[in-house]
Amino acid sequence: MTKQDWIEYQRQLPKIDTHEHLPPEAAFLGQPVDILDLLLFPYNCDTLRSAGCTDPEWQLLNDKTQPLPVRCELLEKYLPAIRYAAVFRAFARTMALDFAEEKVDAPALCRADAKLQTMMAKPYYHAAMDRLNIRGTLSFSSYDSAALFGDDRLRFVPTVTDMLPRCPEDAAQLERASGVRIHSLEDLLHAVDRMFESYAAAGVRAIKFSSGYWRTLSYAAPDRQLAAQQLEAVLSAQPNGDERCCRQIILRKGYEEVAALEDCMIHHMLALCERYGFPAVFHVGMHAWNDNDPERTRAHYLRNVIRRYSGVTFVLLHVGIPYFEEAVLLARYYPNVCLDLTWTHICSPRLAKETIHRILEQVPVNKVFAFGGDYMYILALRGHLEAAMENLASVMADSVAEGILDEEQCKELLRSWYFDNPNRVYGLGYEA
């Protein structure tokens, strides 16, 4: 089989999209979305800002009161600098395949937007998934939004690290969601218990942890006394008169000021994952949104909790790319670690292929998930999936040519990575 044959073989495979940030369709219909939303979020915005897009320019690009042609013409200023990035090339593929536009420039974007508005005039999520042979999608959202999800093909995954209270309003939000008044550490952990009970009752199949965006993933053993002190400081924070009258009131504590509180909550949550059988999904590796510390999301920091909570399946997003060796080794060392290639395919296609080769050499193949878009808009997804199929096709063709696998073994592997493995690990119950 040629590389193109392998791509065509993947097209007809049933797939589970293991990571998106899609709102429920009923809440999304009628929202003012345009083609620049599909282009910019959540990744080309990073490349654009890194290329020098200024704050006023960024505000104009996102100002929907301004004519779309004006905003697209502003974007053209930066296209020569960003068009070679893999995340941009994925969008360009979507433009070609779904909007019949071979170029990405201001006129093409305006034409594509007219088609986009027609597509979004009626429900389209299921049609978009059917076109790509996606049986179901895991959508990661705020911890208190379970009630908004009711579509069996769009499964809600709560981001529970957002429960960490850093100001009184954060605690009040958790109180409203859980029905528990929070005056102490015991109350806070009881509120967390209530949220996990609600997730189990709602059929949630996984839990997301994203604290690598603000700290390293090295969670210290719980110090309940210090955690209680930090929570008390959060709950008792009040602005003084000068702040109320003359300044912007910012009561939210820095993450370093609540580190012991977060450590305590994370350990409690992982124990609950073990109790309810929820896989724990961790962001590791490259950040979205720029201006961050790459050290925070190194996968090796998770080793202690992986060992301590051996009854929890840890899913490592993005295979920790670009530090994929760490995630691969953890998956090799520990039976409760799985790898998810979400986003990896367009972070760096070259590095993604190297990562897949390394996985084949070192990791049992029943612990790998092939694809997740990690997008906010389902109609942006196609170009990303094309990149994933190309990367996997290259690796399969190489593996057959080198005598590592035969064609039937490659077919079995692709089916398991795209569908069987995530369906089993998450207990989704989808029919192929």
pLDDT digits (tens, 9 = 90+) for 173-198: 999 999 999 999 999 999 999 999 99
Measuring CA to CA, which residue among 363, 318, 358, 360 is closest to residue 342?
Answer: 318
Work out the average pLDDT over 270-290: 96
Tokens of 67: 């004519």
pLDDT surpasses 90 at 327: yes
Task: Tell me: pLDDT of 268 over 60.
Answer: yes
Domain ranges of the chain: 31-119, 125-425
Q: Is the pLDDT reported for residue 249 higher than 70? A: no
> Comparing C-alpha atoms, which of 25, 109, 27 is closest to residue 67?
109
Q: Report helix, strand and coil shares of the chain as percent, to nearest 5.
A: 60, 10, 35
d(CA 409, CA 405): 6
In contact, 69 and 106? CB cutoff 8 Å:
yes
Distance spanning both ends of the chain, measured CA to CA: 24
Share of residues in the chain with pLDDT > 70 (%): 97
pLDDT over 80 (residue 142): yes
Contact 318, 349 (CB under 8 A): no
Task: Give 85-104 pLDDT, tens digit per residue.
Answer: 999 999 999 999 999 999 99
Of 281-295, 397-411, 412-426, the one with minimum mean pLDDT is: 281-295
Fold that domain 125-425 belongs to in CATH: TIM Barrel (3.20.20)
* Continuous segment of H or E residues that includes residue 138: strand 134-142
Supply the pTM of this predicted model. Answer: 0.96
> Which of 267, 315, 286 has its CA nearest to residue 140?
315
Share of residues in the chain with pLDDT > 90 (%): 92
pLDDT computed for residue 118 by the predictor? 94
pLDDT value of residue 247 = 52
* C-alpha to C-alpha distance for 217 and 209, rounded to whole angstroms: 10
Mean pLDDT of 102-107: 97
State the chain's mean pLDDT as an integer. 95
Q: Please give the pLDDT value at position 246.
A: 53
Of the pLDDT bands very low, low, confident and very high (cuts 50, 70, 90), residue 243 is very low
pLDDT in tens, 7-37: 999 999 999 999 999 999 988 887 899 999 9
